[in-house]
Amino acid sequence: MVKQGSQRRPVPDGDTEQRILDAAHAVFVRTGTAGARMQEIAKEAGVNSALLHYYFRSKARLSEAVFIRAAQQLLPAVIGVLASDLPLEKKVARVVEVEIDNLSAAPFLPGYILSELTHHPERVRLLVGSATGKRPEDVGGDVLGGIRRQIEAAVRAGKMRPIAPEQLVVNLLALCVFPFAARPLLMAMLSLDERGFARFMMRRRSELPAFFLAALRP
Protein backbone atom coordinates (compact mmCIF):
# COMPACT_ATOMS: atom_id res chain seq x y z
CA MET A 1 0.00 0.00 0.00
CA VAL A 2 2.93 2.38 0.61
CA LYS A 3 4.09 3.96 -2.62
CA GLN A 4 7.71 5.07 -2.87
CA GLY A 5 8.45 8.71 -3.55
CA SER A 6 11.03 9.67 -6.15
CA GLN A 7 13.74 9.71 -3.45
CA ARG A 8 14.60 6.60 -1.52
CA ARG A 9 13.84 8.21 1.86
CA PRO A 10 11.03 6.66 3.97
CA VAL A 11 8.48 9.14 2.66
CA PRO A 12 5.06 7.66 3.59
CA ASP A 13 3.14 7.92 0.33
CA GLY A 14 2.01 10.48 -2.18
CA ASP A 15 2.72 14.13 -1.58
CA THR A 16 1.91 15.57 1.79
CA GLU A 17 -0.82 17.95 0.72
CA GLN A 18 -2.74 15.07 -0.75
CA ARG A 19 -2.29 12.94 2.34
CA ILE A 20 -3.61 15.76 4.48
CA LEU A 21 -6.62 16.16 2.24
CA ASP A 22 -7.34 12.46 2.42
CA ALA A 23 -7.04 12.43 6.19
CA ALA A 24 -9.18 15.54 6.52
CA HIS A 25 -11.77 14.00 4.28
CA ALA A 26 -11.95 10.90 6.44
CA VAL A 27 -12.19 12.83 9.69
CA PHE A 28 -14.63 15.48 8.48
CA VAL A 29 -16.92 12.88 7.01
CA ARG A 30 -17.06 10.62 10.01
CA THR A 31 -17.13 13.31 12.64
CA GLY A 32 -18.74 16.29 10.96
CA THR A 33 -16.94 19.55 10.27
CA ALA A 34 -17.74 21.13 13.63
CA GLY A 35 -16.85 17.98 15.52
CA ALA A 36 -13.56 17.45 13.69
CA ARG A 37 -10.28 18.32 15.39
CA MET A 38 -7.22 19.51 13.51
CA GLN A 39 -5.14 17.39 15.85
CA GLU A 40 -7.01 14.26 14.82
CA ILE A 41 -6.57 15.05 11.14
CA ALA A 42 -2.85 15.57 11.63
CA LYS A 43 -2.56 12.28 13.42
CA GLU A 44 -4.50 10.46 10.70
CA ALA A 45 -2.26 12.05 8.07
CA GLY A 46 0.84 11.12 10.01
CA VAL A 47 2.11 14.69 10.25
CA ASN A 48 2.28 17.48 12.76
CA SER A 49 -0.74 19.72 13.09
CA ALA A 50 1.32 22.78 12.20
CA LEU A 51 1.62 21.35 8.71
CA LEU A 52 -2.11 21.53 8.21
CA HIS A 53 -1.89 25.28 8.67
CA TYR A 54 1.15 25.49 6.45
CA TYR A 55 -0.82 23.97 3.59
CA PHE A 56 -4.35 25.16 4.26
CA ARG A 57 -4.02 28.21 6.51
CA SER A 58 -7.10 27.50 8.61
CA LYS A 59 -9.63 24.84 9.51
CA ALA A 60 -12.30 26.70 7.55
CA ARG A 61 -10.24 26.60 4.35
CA LEU A 62 -9.33 22.98 4.83
CA SER A 63 -12.95 22.04 5.36
CA GLU A 64 -13.90 23.96 2.25
CA ALA A 65 -11.31 22.12 0.19
CA VAL A 66 -12.60 18.81 1.47
CA PHE A 67 -16.18 19.78 0.80
CA ILE A 68 -15.48 20.75 -2.79
CA ARG A 69 -13.62 17.54 -3.42
CA ALA A 70 -16.48 15.53 -1.95
CA ALA A 71 -19.00 17.33 -4.11
CA GLN A 72 -16.96 16.75 -7.24
CA GLN A 73 -16.88 13.11 -6.37
CA LEU A 74 -20.66 12.79 -6.40
CA LEU A 75 -22.45 15.44 -8.42
CA PRO A 76 -21.03 15.44 -11.93
CA ALA A 77 -22.01 11.85 -12.60
CA VAL A 78 -25.71 12.29 -11.78
CA ILE A 79 -25.98 15.67 -13.42
CA GLY A 80 -24.29 14.26 -16.48
CA VAL A 81 -26.81 11.49 -16.82
CA LEU A 82 -29.82 13.72 -16.12
CA ALA A 83 -28.64 16.31 -18.64
CA SER A 84 -27.69 13.76 -21.29
CA ASP A 85 -29.82 13.03 -24.33
CA LEU A 86 -30.66 9.51 -23.27
CA PRO A 87 -34.34 8.59 -23.41
CA LEU A 88 -36.10 9.06 -20.09
CA GLU A 89 -36.33 5.37 -19.20
CA LYS A 90 -32.61 4.98 -19.76
CA LYS A 91 -31.89 8.04 -17.65
CA VAL A 92 -33.83 6.56 -14.77
CA ALA A 93 -32.08 3.22 -14.99
CA ARG A 94 -28.69 4.85 -15.38
CA VAL A 95 -29.12 7.27 -12.47
CA VAL A 96 -30.06 4.40 -10.19
CA GLU A 97 -26.99 2.41 -11.19
CA VAL A 98 -24.55 5.28 -11.07
CA GLU A 99 -25.88 6.70 -7.84
CA ILE A 100 -26.09 3.45 -5.91
CA ASP A 101 -22.67 2.35 -7.15
CA ASN A 102 -21.01 5.62 -6.23
CA LEU A 103 -22.66 5.90 -2.85
CA SER A 104 -22.03 2.27 -1.96
CA ALA A 105 -18.34 3.08 -2.24
CA ALA A 106 -18.78 6.12 0.04
CA PRO A 107 -21.88 5.51 2.13
CA PHE A 108 -21.35 8.45 4.48
CA LEU A 109 -20.85 11.11 1.84
CA PRO A 110 -24.53 11.98 1.41
CA GLY A 111 -24.99 12.60 5.11
CA TYR A 112 -21.84 14.69 5.21
CA ILE A 113 -22.78 16.81 2.22
CA LEU A 114 -26.38 17.36 3.24
CA SER A 115 -25.41 18.18 6.80
CA GLU A 116 -22.73 20.55 5.61
CA LEU A 117 -25.20 22.32 3.37
CA THR A 118 -27.78 22.87 6.07
CA HIS A 119 -25.19 24.45 8.36
CA HIS A 120 -23.48 26.44 5.60
CA PRO A 121 -26.17 27.17 3.00
CA GLU A 122 -23.81 29.51 1.19
CA ARG A 123 -21.78 26.48 0.16
CA VAL A 124 -24.48 25.39 -2.23
CA ARG A 125 -22.90 27.67 -4.82
CA LEU A 126 -19.50 26.22 -4.09
CA LEU A 127 -20.83 22.73 -4.48
CA VAL A 128 -22.57 23.00 -7.78
CA GLY A 129 -20.15 25.57 -9.10
CA SER A 130 -17.07 23.46 -8.48
CA ALA A 131 -18.74 20.44 -9.99
CA THR A 132 -20.11 22.07 -13.12
CA GLY A 133 -18.82 25.63 -13.42
CA LYS A 134 -22.39 26.93 -13.44
CA ARG A 135 -24.80 28.48 -10.96
CA PRO A 136 -27.13 26.08 -9.15
CA GLU A 137 -30.27 27.60 -10.65
CA ASP A 138 -28.80 27.23 -14.12
CA VAL A 139 -27.85 23.62 -13.61
CA GLY A 140 -31.33 23.00 -12.27
CA GLY A 141 -32.87 24.82 -15.20
CA ASP A 142 -30.84 22.94 -17.82
CA VAL A 143 -31.60 19.55 -16.35
CA LEU A 144 -35.27 20.26 -15.73
CA GLY A 145 -35.81 21.83 -19.15
CA GLY A 146 -34.60 18.75 -20.94
CA ILE A 147 -36.61 16.40 -18.78
CA ARG A 148 -39.71 18.55 -19.10
CA ARG A 149 -39.56 18.16 -22.87
CA GLN A 150 -39.11 14.42 -22.57
CA ILE A 151 -42.09 14.18 -20.25
CA GLU A 152 -44.28 16.26 -22.51
CA ALA A 153 -43.44 14.12 -25.51
CA ALA A 154 -44.13 10.91 -23.64
CA VAL A 155 -47.39 12.25 -22.24
CA ARG A 156 -48.54 13.29 -25.70
CA ALA A 157 -47.70 9.81 -26.95
CA GLY A 158 -49.86 8.39 -24.17
CA LYS A 159 -46.91 6.56 -22.66
CA MET A 160 -46.70 8.45 -19.39
CA ARG A 161 -48.82 10.16 -16.74
CA PRO A 162 -48.06 13.86 -16.44
CA ILE A 163 -45.65 14.84 -13.69
CA ALA A 164 -43.66 17.97 -12.95
CA PRO A 165 -40.00 17.44 -13.82
CA GLU A 166 -38.98 18.78 -10.40
CA GLN A 167 -41.05 16.13 -8.68
CA LEU A 168 -39.69 13.40 -10.92
CA VAL A 169 -36.09 14.30 -10.24
CA VAL A 170 -36.60 14.67 -6.51
CA ASN A 171 -38.37 11.32 -6.41
CA LEU A 172 -35.52 9.66 -8.22
CA LEU A 173 -32.80 11.17 -6.06
CA ALA A 174 -34.77 10.48 -2.89
CA LEU A 175 -35.08 6.79 -3.67
CA CYS A 176 -31.36 6.48 -4.34
CA VAL A 177 -29.82 8.80 -1.77
CA PHE A 178 -32.06 8.59 1.27
CA PRO A 179 -31.13 5.04 2.27
CA PHE A 180 -27.52 6.14 2.64
CA ALA A 181 -28.36 9.28 4.58
CA ALA A 182 -30.54 7.19 6.90
CA ARG A 183 -28.19 4.23 6.96
CA PRO A 184 -27.70 3.85 10.73
CA LEU A 185 -31.44 4.07 11.33
CA LEU A 186 -32.28 1.58 8.61
CA MET A 187 -29.60 -0.84 9.71
CA ALA A 188 -31.07 -0.89 13.22
CA MET A 189 -34.70 -1.13 12.24
CA LEU A 190 -34.14 -3.72 9.52
CA SER A 191 -31.60 -5.65 11.64
CA LEU A 192 -28.89 -5.34 9.01
CA ASP A 193 -25.14 -5.42 9.44
CA GLU A 194 -22.85 -3.81 6.87
CA ARG A 195 -23.04 -6.72 4.51
CA GLY A 196 -26.78 -6.92 4.93
CA PHE A 197 -27.10 -3.27 4.09
CA ALA A 198 -24.96 -3.73 1.00
CA ARG A 199 -27.18 -6.59 -0.15
CA PHE A 200 -30.26 -4.50 0.53
CA MET A 201 -28.86 -1.76 -1.70
CA MET A 202 -27.89 -4.18 -4.46
CA ARG A 203 -31.43 -5.44 -4.50
CA ARG A 204 -32.66 -1.85 -4.73
CA ARG A 205 -30.29 -1.24 -7.59
CA SER A 206 -31.96 -3.93 -9.62
CA GLU A 207 -35.56 -3.31 -8.57
CA LEU A 208 -35.77 0.46 -8.36
CA PRO A 209 -35.88 1.21 -12.10
CA ALA A 210 -38.92 -1.01 -12.59
CA PHE A 211 -40.61 0.46 -9.53
CA PHE A 212 -39.99 3.97 -10.75
CA LEU A 213 -41.02 3.41 -14.33
CA ALA A 214 -44.18 1.65 -13.16
CA ALA A 215 -45.09 4.77 -11.25
CA LEU A 216 -44.87 6.80 -14.45
CA ARG A 217 -47.08 4.54 -16.57
CA PRO A 218 -50.39 6.08 -17.61
Biggest alpha carbon–alpha carbon distance for the chain: 69
C-alpha 181: how far from its chain's center?
10
Residues 6+ apart with CB under 8 A from 80: none
175 touching a second copy, by CB under 8 A: yes
Quick note: the x/- pattern for a second copy over 41-80, rule CB under 8 A, is ----------------------------------------
Total residues belonging to the chain: 218
Closest to 190 (Cα-Cα) out of 175, 201, 205? 201
The residue (of 25 and 183) whose beta carbon lies closer to DNA is: 25
206 touching DNA, by CB under 7 A: no
Site residue total, a second copy (CB under 8 A): 57
| Cα(99)–Cα(215) distance, integer angstroms | 20
CA atoms within 13 A on the CB side of 128: 15
Q: Which of the residues 109 through 148 are near a second copy (CB under 8 A)? A: 111, 114-115, 117-119, 121, 124-125, 127-128, 136-137, 139-141, 144
Inter-residue contact 151 to 168 (CB < 8 Å): yes
| Cα(78)–Cα(128) distance, integer angstroms | 12
189 touching a second copy, by CB under 8 A: yes
105 touching a second copy, by CB under 8 A: no
Quick note: the x/- pattern for a second copy over 8-47, rule CB under 8 A, is ----------------------xxxxxx------------
Q: Which long-range contacts (CB under 8 A, 24 or more apart) does 35-41 make?
A: 36/63, 38/62
21 touching DNA, by CB under 7 A: no
Residues that bind DNA (CB under 7 A): 16-17, 36-39, 47-51, 53-54, 57-60
Interaction site with a second copy (CB under 8 A)? 30-35, 108, 111, 114-115, 117-119, 121, 124-125, 127-128, 136-137, 139-141, 144, 161, 163-164, 166-167, 170-171, 173-175, 177-179, 181-186, 188-191, 200, 203-204, 207, 211-212, 214-217
